[in-house]
Structure 1
């Protein structure tokens, strides 16, 4: 389904995208980050916080680290300021990159078992599918953030994967 090269490319894409969001968020007044813009989680900050929470949850399943507290309902409050988000996001992106750099083909085989609070049941899915889902979830919510940013006076980041720089730094 996927390869370690794909995972590394997506980890780099994720870090590149979030680096651009950090810059965009700095250009906004803090109140603009909190304004309910009609997104699924309301504001830009709440959506960014949920996205961070999701990455924390998936990475806990992938690398055995500690999962975040709370469920989806609390995910919008993992971070409450753009500064806290930027720091936590930087750390999470470094963790994802480290994990991706060490991933081997064999690591993408087999099944992943976990309890899903969203589904309210134990889950078993192919490991590779779960990895793809994590990156898809990131892109989905960054797309929502991108749409909300276009309603501000800040230029939304470039999101085309084909325009990602060939070389880092990714963070």
Structure 2
């Protein structure tokens, strides 16, 4: 289904996107970041926090060195109170994701992953490759929302085309 090389590319892409989003938002007043804009997770910062929360929960299942975030999905928009706190946590996790992806072997993407899903309120068993693909797809989904929120706020949203990612990203 997927390869370690795919995971490495998507880990690079995610870190590149997150740096661009931070750069686009750096210096914006809290009111701009926290204004409820009608998105599923409310604000720009709420959506960024949910995305970080989702990455943390999935990575905690893939890599035992990553701690699961506190609280469930409903509390995920409040994970970090400021853009600076979000950025520090995001930078740290992006490093963990890249390290994990760079150390993957094909065999690591075979077999099943078993966990208790708070969202589904039950034990779940799914192919690990599907779960990894879901994590990267979840990132893309919410970054699309963030792009729309930035545009609605009158800000310039960063380029998100995968084929435009710099080689050194």
Identify the residue that residue 125 of structure 2 maps to in structure 1: 124
Structure 1 vs Structure 2 CA RMSD: 0.8
Does the 8 A contact of 1:111 with 1:125 survive in 2? yes
Which consecutive segments of 4 or more residues in structure 1 shift more than 2 A?
A: none
User: What is the CA–CA distance in structure 1 between the aligned matches of 2:149 and 2:67, rounded to whole Å?
Assistant: 31
User: What is the CA–CA distance in structure 1 between the aligned matches of 2:154 and 2:47, rounded to whole Å?
Assistant: 19
User: What is the CA–CA distance in structure 1 between the aligned matches of 2:78 and 2:43, rounded to whole Å?
Assistant: 11
Identify the residue that residue 46 of structure 2 maps to in structure 1: 46
Identify the residue that residue 86 of structure 1 maps to in structure 2: 87
Unaligned runs of 5+ in 2: none
Tell me how far 1:27 sits from its aligned partner.
Answer: 4.0
Instruction: Please show how residues 26-105 of structure 1 align to structure 2 within 5 Å.
Output: 26-64=26-64, 65-105=66-106
Q: Which stretch has the larger CA shift, 136-145 or 152-161? A: 152-161
Give the alignment's TM-score, normalised by structure 2.
0.97
SS at match of 2:119: coil
User: What is the CA–CA distance in structure 2 between the aligned matches of 1:146 and 1:29, rounded to whole Å?
Assistant: 18
User: What is the CA–CA distance in structure 2 between the aligned matches of 1:66 and 1:32, rounded to whole Å?
Assistant: 30
User: What is the CA–CA distance in structure 2 between the aligned matches of 1:106 and 1:89, rounded to whole Å?
Assistant: 28
Give the alignment's TM-score, normalised by structure 1.
0.96
SS at match of 1:113: strand
